[in-house]
Structure 1
Amino acid sequence: MLSQQSTPVVRATLPAVGAAIGDIAELFYTKLFDAHPELLRDLFNRGNQANGEQKQALAGSIAAFAGMLLEHPDTRPDAMLGRIAHKHASLGITADQYKIVHKHLFAAIVEVLGDAVTPEVAEAWDEVYWLMANALIAIESGLYQQAGTADGEIWQQMTIVERRQETPDIVSLELRRADGRPCGAFRPGQYVSVQVELPDGAHQIRQYSLSAAPGRPEWRITVKHVREEVRPDGEVSSWLHQNAEAGDVLTVSAPFGDLTLAEDDGPLLLASAGIGSTPMLAMLNHLAATGSTRPVTVLHADRTPADHAHRAELRQLVRELPNAALHLWYEESSDQEPGASAGRADIGAVELPEGVTAYLCGPLPFMRAVRGDLLRRGVPAQDVHYEVFGPDLWLGQQ
């Protein structure tokens, strides 16, 4: 918790820091990459830097953390910290890198806020930073231990054993460890990072959900082609679509991610849109493989049936579960899926059992709409879990 002397200072200055945090984040990344260009080349997502999403996520997380310290001084916001820590661990972030961030972040704060940063203010916000950083370092160290690796040593070489074109814009890749060892366990809903060397020599990293059940001899990732001419963060998916073939070797991380299936008997709602179906497929594969009798409501929305990756597999998995129901929406109606609804997903049209735990994955507007409808129907906020593909611009705003 914040010390007694820092609490009133942070409370008094949070509005000013919050109002300037976007400018602070912008300047921070400029200073960081000027001093350490290798971080932009080989660690940070260059696309998210170009479109500003990473700057927004950093600003939102710092402001949210400070606000939570003030509102709930006796508790640590572990849900928010855990989400960040899993992403950091999937990149191989280590404790020494927090010192680099601290140096350039505080230089940016002083430059943006000027004389307002008195020694007292600097000391209070320094305390906020290290409370957050040390909490993340501890959580990340625990994640590395769970993965059976030293801090930051997450990478392994994996061979593509099969490439399958699921839709015109989506491929799935089956992976095995190149050294012949077992792929290792993961929890349904987790993701791995894939690092590729691009034509300019940069080593860029992106996360992809494991879309099949744990316990199989292979891991499977499903990759949507994010076109670079549309979004600047598509350079890795473009490379994989254009280059990754059976027999090739990829650099892949250990599994991480906090959107994981709770091991109990309660009813579930798995709601997804587009490529957000991938963690739900792992959950359904796991439920089917373990003979689960849990009530499961599956909701998926997509543009058309032809754009819906693993569509036949989804239907088969729902059929294998004795208490599962499937609801499909497509923006364009089609005879390919009799019984599917046309238009956007409407959770209000779906019957939900008492005590349901919801898992959401898809574009932010979809998840906001579904989450809002669930809350209005009385589902407690703590029972609604989500995964964001990319920087989490929703942190602290739910």
Structure 2
Amino acid sequence: MDRDFYTEDHELYRQTVREFLTREVVPHRERWDEERWIDRRVFAAAATSGIYALQVPEQYGGAGELDYRYRMIVCEEVSRAHALSFALTLGLQDDLVLHYLLDLTTDEQKQRWLPGFATGEIIGALAMTEPGAGSDLRGIRTEAKQDGEDWILNGQKTFISSGIMADLVIVAARTNPGGGSKAFTLFVVESDWPGFTRGRKLQKIGLPGQDTAELFFDNVRVPSENVLGGIGRGLHNLMSHLPRERLGISAGAIALSRTIFDVTREYCFTRTAFGKPIGDNQHVRFELAEMATELDVAEAYVDKSVLAYNEGKLTPVDAAKGKWYTSELQKRIVDRCLQLHGGYGYMSEYPVGRAYIDTRIQTIYAGTTEIMKEIIGRDLARGHSHE
């Protein structure tokens, strides 16, 4: 099926992305995973080359490009480069941190933070999850109490992507003990502030190059000019930015699934067993046929979601549908592709083996599959009376 989705300008951009990855990422990706750390310089090079932060307005050093299809191209090409730890970090910056800094900041905050983000000198992180609060944001216990013009922040966060590397951390904290929808506020904590410490770099089973951390806040004094999006608006601001985050997961999931399928298809028609390519067996062809169909159908939904996002029409429910389905599809595709590779698929030097480990988190972060279904189910039930 022809994919009438990209223009000539998009394809020219694809060449830029591909050349950047070949030069700056592919030679280092294995070392990054072995060292569990991505060289920070690559993010400055990526931002300068327009690989992310395209949406930063021109007056702050960006391109002011709002078309999400450029972000999709980055997802596709980074997947083809088999650099998934790098892909996750780009997604964190472009699909999460940047949009908080674009949408919720004052003019003064934009002047302070966006120029550094546009050049890749500032790396950000989003700190919501706590040891006792994951999908249930209302369970957040980190708190901030007002002290004159400042706020005193205390608490702990965990599973924070880029938490070790980040210069700015957007922290969700409880500011109203009474609870309710106005109980939370977002604060931007800067890396060198007294009382802000980083715990251990967490040992994950996949995506080893992408640092994930525990963060601790012990009487951190946050000036009022680092309140993000207004006092008591934290929960609303978090919820309103979830569609973009979940679209990013869908884009990455479909890109990686397509990449591993293409690798496996090639393998099936070059690997021989019993005197013929394994792809000549009907069962293998049926497996490939099913996966090709599922990918085309899911890709059509993601493309539609991207265009809806460009028009400002992507709803939280539609984003949730895409997130759970494509992340679960990625798990199925990668698992089946590993099976078709046989013993070679279990070897870490093969892309499918590495993708198998890196894929598992997809159905968990940015809202679990179960939470996505609950969001969709509540929407379906809304407006219907119960007898």
Instruction: Judge same fold: TM > 0.5, yes or no.
Output: no
More helix per residue:
2
What is the TM-score of this pair, normalised by structure 1?
Answer: 0.27
What is the TM-score of this pair, normalised by structure 2?
Answer: 0.28
